[in-house]
């Protein structure tokens, strides 16, 4: 199948993906696959105005009816799963199985949001005054800007958009400039779905901004964008948070991770090895949930590391479009240089590195294929505090579970974490208030591949936001506290007497 056919099968026309100034390259072989027109600042302003107009109409549509739109979106995504999954693979380089998995996450969150559209529950609260009732109601919030990263080009948009839409908020999507094609393909699906839905879907409910950083900055600067949800690097998140704080706008931030696994003395090593390999090399180490640090009990370390290096040596590296490949390319040369630099630093900090280095150079001279690396470190050194978006797994030893948890928490990021242990005292300690400081903490599974039903996000430099399941929907609505006096008296709260 040619690249052009992949684009066309995903619903894009030649006129849409040629003739523009934003060049899109596939990481599969580095070739140019599209040249998109970018939006100007005034077009972006018009999008914001259009979205606000859409908000006025959409917030009056009953939430279960808003859910119907997302039900139709889920239905359409089911039909388009293979076509969109293949475009995800072509544009961001993750293997086809993972491309399909990403579209499945979109479908799953749509199902979740449809149910949610009938469950936007508030509380009833006991009033301290006689003849009074109190309750909490949730209302649509306003326009929601969604900024997404190249490594998960479509699913995080959908975690945000599916919830925002049932909550009554129009969505403006600023995808990574490295992966705008998948966004355009999804936008076309949304437009089709809105048409099917009927007249109560206003214009500009879903919009996409194609271009560079300044378009994202427009979203964070504008008072008319009530919420900005951003997925990406810590520096990007700090910039978004700074701009939004200046105008006291609401943010939902899901930033970098530096996820670890504690492998305890009692761990099932067979299971641990399988979990480690998937979460450390899956998506070529370019997930925010990728396993980057292994904290291994000193008495199992010498059994575990050789098994891992052996497993690593047989992993098929190749085009992500080929069925047997497990490791596709990094997104670009810059990512490759970052990996090389990190490995150099690990060595200079006393590490012994297995693997690493460029792969398939003859076959794909313009792409960034790499051998995944394991770096045995004498301690948790400086490089282990950084998130390098590449398949480098650092390993250190520990003696006591308390020490392991201390090492675990001593990095700036706090997204995902896990422990492999069959000792309930250790696993419960890890999940307790003095255990893992991450937003996600797992037992006997790896840190990546979270289900959509749970709240997704983490603490510290990860930004504190929560997306996807549980009660993350509250981030897209405004809470209102209501007190209703159905008596003939006017008592004041706190027992205050104020007679006139
Ligand atoms: C990301 O890398 O930004 O838990 C998201 C996971 C996926 C989402 C990753 N469900 O690995």
**363 Cβ neighbours under 8 A, 6+ residues apart:** none
**202 Cα distance to chain centroid:** 28
Ligand 1 atom closest to the CA of 452, numbered from 1: 10
Q: Say whether pLDDT at 339 is over 90.
A: yes
Amino acid 87: pLDDT: 98
Rounded to the nearest angstrom, the distance between the alpha carbon of 487 and the centre of ligand 1 is: 52
Over range 253-278, report the average pLDDT: 98
Q: Considering the chain, what percentage of its residues have pLDDT values greater than 70? A: 100
ipTM for this model? 0.97
pLDDT tens, residue by residue, 22-81: 999 999 999 999 999 999 999 999 999 999 999 999 999 999 999 999 999 999 999 999
152 CB within 6 A, ligand 1: yes
pLDDT tens, residue by residue, 102-149: 999 999 999 999 999 999 999 999 999 999 999 999 999 999 999 999
Residue nearest to atom 3 of ligand 1 (CA): 288
Residue 192: strand, helix, or coil = helix
Take residue 329 and report the two structure tokens written for it.
């390319």
289 CB within 6 A, ligand 1: yes
pLDDT tens, residue by residue, 299-323: 999 999 999 999 999 999 999 999 9
72 CB within 6 A, ligand 1: no
Q: Say whether pLDDT at 330 is over 90.
A: yes
Amino acid 291: pLDDT: 98
Rounded to the nearest angstrom, the distance between the alpha carbon of 126 and the centre of ligand 1 is: 40
Amino acid 331: pLDDT: 98
Amino acid 309: pLDDT: 97
Rounded to the nearest angstrom, the distance between the alpha carbon of 288 and the centre of ligand 1 is: 6
Q: Say whether pLDDT at 219 is over 90.
A: yes
Rounded to the nearest angstrom, the distance between the alpha carbon of 285 and the centre of ligand 1 is: 11
Residue nearest to atom 1 of ligand 1 (CA): 288
215 contacts 237 by C-beta, under 8 angstroms? no
Q: Say whether pLDDT at 95 is over 90.
A: yes
Rounded to the nearest angstrom, the distance between the alpha carbon of 448 and the centre of ligand 1 is: 6
Cα gap 124→291, rounded to integer Å: 43
Amino acid 1: pLDDT: 87
Amino acid 112: pLDDT: 98
The neighbour count for residue 213, using CB atoms within 10 Å, is: 12
Mutate to test the pocket of ligand 1, among 94, 101, 153, 155 (most ligand atoms within 8 A of CB): 155
pLDDT tens, residue by residue, 344-399: 999 999 999 999 999 999 999 999 999 999 999 999 999 999 999 999 999 999 99
Positions marked active-site: 254
**443 Cβ neighbours under 8 A, 6+ residues apart:** 418, 419, 421, 427, 430, 431
What crossing angle do the helices spanning 424-431 and 401-409 adopt, rounded to 10°? 30
405 CB within 6 A, ligand 1: no
């Amino acid at each position: 199948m040619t690249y052009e056919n992949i684009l066309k099968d995903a619903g894009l026309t030649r006129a849409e993906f040629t003739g523009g100034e934003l060049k899109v390259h596939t990481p599969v072989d580095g070739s140019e696959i599209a040249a998109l027109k970018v939006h100007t600042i005034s077009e972006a302003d018009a999008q914001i105005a259009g979205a606000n107009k859409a908000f006025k109409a959409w917030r009056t549509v009953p939430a279960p009816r808003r859910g119907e739109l997302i039900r139709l979106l889920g239905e359409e995504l089911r039909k388009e799963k293979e076509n969109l999954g293949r475009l995800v693979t072509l544009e961001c380089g993750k293997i086809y199985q993972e491309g399909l998995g990403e579209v499945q996450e979109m479908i799953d969150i749509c199902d979740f949001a449809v149910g949610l559209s009938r469950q936007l529950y508030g509380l009833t609260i006991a009033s301290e005054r006689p003849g009074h009732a109190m309750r909490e109601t949730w209302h649509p919030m306003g326009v929601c800007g969604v900024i997404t990263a190249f490594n998960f080009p479509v699913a995080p948009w959908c975690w945000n958009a599916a919830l925002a839409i049932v909550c009554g908020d129009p969505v403006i999507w600023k995808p990574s400039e490295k992966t705008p094609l998948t966004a355009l393909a999804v936008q076309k699906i949304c437009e089709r779905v809105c048409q099917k839905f009927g007249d109560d879907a206003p214009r500009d409910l879903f919009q996409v901004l194609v271009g560079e950083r300044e378009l994202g900055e427009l979203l964070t600067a504008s008072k008319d964008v009530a919420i900005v949800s951003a997925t990406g690097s810590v520096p990007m998140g700090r910039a978004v948070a700074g701009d939004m704080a200046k105008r006291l706008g609401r943010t939902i931030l899901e930033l970098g991770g530096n996820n670890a696994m504690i492998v305890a003395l009692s761990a099932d090593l067979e299971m641990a090895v399988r979990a480690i390999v998937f979460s450390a090399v899956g998506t070529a180490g370019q997930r925010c949930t990728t396993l980057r640090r292994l904290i291994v009990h000193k008495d199992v370390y010498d059994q575990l590391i050789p098994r891992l290096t052996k497993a690593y040596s047989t992993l098929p590296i190749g085009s992500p479009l080929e069925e047997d490949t497990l490791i596709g390319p990094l997104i670009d040369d810059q990512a490759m240089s970052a990996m090389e630099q990190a490995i150099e630093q690990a060595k200079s900090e006393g590490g012994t590195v297995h693997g690493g280095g460029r792969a398939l150079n003859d076959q794909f001279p313009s792409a960034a294929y790499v051998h995944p690396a394991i770096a045995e470190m004498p301690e948790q050194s400086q490089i282990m505090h950084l998130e390098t978006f590449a398949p480098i797994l650092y390993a250190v030893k520990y003696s006591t579970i308390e020490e392991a948890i201390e090492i675990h928490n001593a990095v700036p990021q706090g997204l995902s974490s896990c422990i492999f242990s069959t000792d309930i005292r250790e696993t419960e300690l890890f999940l307790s208030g003095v255990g893992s400081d991450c937003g996600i903490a797992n037992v006997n599974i790896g840190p990546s591949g979270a289900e959509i039903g749970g709240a997704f996000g983490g603490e510290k430099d990860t930004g504190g936001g929560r997306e996807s399941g549980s009660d993350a929907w509250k981030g897209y609505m405004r809470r209102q506290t209501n007190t209703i006096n159905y008596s003939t008296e006017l008592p004041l709260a706190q027992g205050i007497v104020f007679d006139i």
